Amino acid sequence: LARGVTAPDLAGRHVVVSAGGTREPLDPVRFLGNRSSGKQGYALARTAAARGARVTLVAANTGLPDPAGVDVVPVGTAAQLREAVVEAAADADAVVMAAAVADFRPETYATGKIKKKEGADPDPVVLVRNPDVLAEISAGRPRPGQVVVGFAAETDDVLANGRAKLRRKGCDLLVVNEVGERKTFGSEQNEAVVLGADGSETSVPFGPKEALAETVWDLVAERLA
Ligand code: CTP
Ligand code: CA
């Protein structure tokens, strides 16, 4: 097919994409967050819709406009994201976890704004682990034959860390980005290697996030067939 013409190879499929970054509140005005823009997840949602899929986009704090023809479920925290993804995954053919999910959250939430105390040091922030949504979905496979895809941003030993993470998470595909200066965060472009649990390795050259998204759906469609 010519570029720009997409086959409706995901017609009749339901896919779930998570996007953005979770925010873990400390008090009503403060949170622990991350720099994920959500753009890669939105590109995945748009391209899946263009290929005929019914798309549920679980969007964490992206501030991006809802893509046309996509069901958007807005969430804030990792716990909310988990609930939304688990619910949508129940009848999904594929789940793609592009969101940056906070690994930790503050143990306690102050219902009133935390104030400075004159002459006193601040209280330390105690963190606890959040649930691992990707590992949970991969282990549970609510629907037989479901394809589960994770994302990982690595700074060192990118491929070795990616392989180990793929095994640890139990997903079918892991999109590994090398994080650096102009790469990934907030940018329009991305470069990645997609690792398969079957040992496959697909390089995606530096280019628009749409191109990476199309490659991810190609690999998903192959595994659904
Ligand atoms: N992920 C998730 N739930 C979490 C953390 C991560 O579902 N609590 C998912 C992300 O959406 C991503 C994948 O797991 O698809 C990999 O995230 P990453 O942060 O690279 O993995 P971690 O296991 O948290 O490893 P690290 O210690 O390197 O952060
Ligand atoms: Ca993490």
Q: What is the DSSP string of 4-19?
A: T----TTTT-EEEEEE
224: Cα within 13 Å, side-chain hemisphere: 23
Q: What is the pLDDT of residues 177-188, one digit of tens each?
A: 887 665 556 677
Give the catalytic positions in this structure.
Answer: 34
147: Cα within 13 Å, side-chain hemisphere: 24
Q: Tokens for 193, please give them.
A: 């290697």
Q: Is residue 34 predicted with pLDDT exceeding 90?
A: yes
pTM across the whole model: 0.95
Q: Which CATH class is domain 14-109+126-224?
A: alpha beta
User: What is the pLDDT at residue 4?
Assistant: 54
Which residue from 132, 154, 155, 177 has its CB within 8 A of the most atoms of ligand 1, so it is best to mutate? 132
Q: In this structure, which residue's CA is closest to atom 19 in ligand 1?
A: 152
Which residue from 103, 138, 194, 195 has its CB within 8 A of the most atoms of ligand 1, so it is best to mutate? 103
For the chain, domain boundaries: 14-109+126-224
User: What is the pLDDT at residue 188?
Assistant: 75
- For residue 85, which atom of ligand 1 is closest to its CA? 7
User: What is the pLDDT at residue 179?
Assistant: 79
Q: Which residues contact 95 (CB under 8 A, 6 or more apart)?
A: 15, 16, 17, 85, 89, 137, 146, 147, 148, 149
CB-based contact 9:52 (threshold 8 Å): yes
Q: What is the pLDDT of residues 125-180, one digit of tens each?
A: 999 999 999 999 999 998 889 999 999 999 889 999 999 999 999 999 999 988 76
